[in-house]
Amino acid sequence: MPTQPLYRKLRSERRSNSVADPTPSTAVDATGAEARIPSTDLLGVYRMMVTSRVVDERCLTLQRQGRIGFYVPMQGQEAAQVGCTWALSPEDWIFPAYRELGVALTRGVPLKLLLDQFIGNSGDALKGRQMPNHYGYRAFRFVTASSPVGTQIVQAVGTAMAARRKGEPIVTATFFGDGTTSSSDFHSGLNFAGVFRAPTIFFCQNNQWAISLPREKQTRSETLAAKSVAYGIPGVVVDGTDVHAVYGAVAKARELALAGGGPTLIEAQVYRLGPHSTSDDPRRYRSDEELNAWKAKDPIARLKHELLADGQLTEEADHEVWESTKAEVAKALAASEAMAPVQPRTMFEDVFAHIPLALEEQRDQFEALSAPGATKP
């Protein structure tokens, strides 16, 4: 059978991976991880977190104004996303969910390119074929997001194994929320990765709510990271509002993966300060007291106070960071909104290497009907 050679290869890999396994099978707390972001990088990290917040707030407003159709906010998760991505290499592949704006910006995706996708104009690299906020860019090794939760997990594992076989010294990092840990793809992906030691970082942003379902009604596990025990891989819990803790845990997990030690499950405990999406009203299921308690742990304010205390930032300089960022966002938005919409004829492109006759006839008919002055049937 054609699958037999692959089966033998996987069986061989499993046997070779069973020798001298250096990975623990218990979940541990990595809040005090040794690695910290270099002090020379901290202002850059802070600016990236501010940029993520400003863009996020602007996009939420744009949707309410009817200028984009849909949006998934990430306010409150800036330290988790920026800190994690900062610890990765540009060569590492990223498999996001639909809330990873901070990851995309940190990876280097231009703001205008993101706005083009939110709007769905002719600058959209996906040509309007994905719903807003479901972006992906091969040049940045940032895979397109999907609406079904967890599908990116098994994709990340497969890519990690392919990279290892090709001898590429990279890891894959996949992002998901607390609700996804109840999915079958979570189980399949972590189990397979554990068996074959795939160099994958599973980064769970536990923002306490799977839309309207609270974390305590999703699982009896003491932590989500504790689920790693069943798969024989390390599981760590970090304070997701502490960018240093996130960076340190991811840096350690990446080092382990590149050394052949296999995957790590990281649970970053954060809070979604806004709605699940622009179709959601969180006031219906959570209290103001809970929201305000987490607002007091704002990750941006936390890093700002550190920079102020270290003398790397002043209140005046901080004000300039926010104002200049808002100006940059306004400029990029104006450029995106000035672009023409996606041309309808692109629906006939990128399906076949050589367009078949039937589709060619449909395209010609469509263009004839779309021509100025054409008589509609």
Q: Which of 7, 283, 285, 345 is the catalytic position?
A: 285
Q: Does residue 272 have an active-site annotation?
A: yes
What is the maximal distance between C-alpha atoms in the chain? Answer: 75
Whole-number Å distance between alpha carbons of 272 and 143 = 23
DSSP string, 130-154: S-TT---BGGGTBPPP-SSTTHHHH
Read off the DSSP letter of residue 291.
H
For tokens 């590149």, name the residue: 258
11's tokens: 């069986």
- Secondary structure of 84-109 as H, E, C letters: HHHCCCCCCEEECCCCCHHHHHHHCC
Q: Does residue 244 have an active-site annotation?
A: no
For tokens 């996606």, name the residue: 342
User: What is the enclosing helix (H) or strand (E) of 6?
Assistant: helix 4-17
DSSP string, 299-346: HHHHHHHHHHHHTS--HHHHHHHHHHHHHHHHHHHHHHHTSPBPPGGG
DSSP string, 335-349: HHHTSPBPPGGGGGS
Number of residues that this document lists for the chain: 377
Q: Which of 134, 164, 215, 272 is the catalytic position?
A: 272
For tokens 């304070």, name the residue: 239
Q: Does residue 7 have an active-site annotation?
A: no
Residue 209: what are its φ and ψ, rounded to 5°? -135, 130
Pairing of strands 209-210, 213-214: antiparallel
Whole-number Å distance between alpha carbons of 117 and 138 = 14
3-state secondary structure of 52: helix
Active site residues per annotation: 272, 276, 285
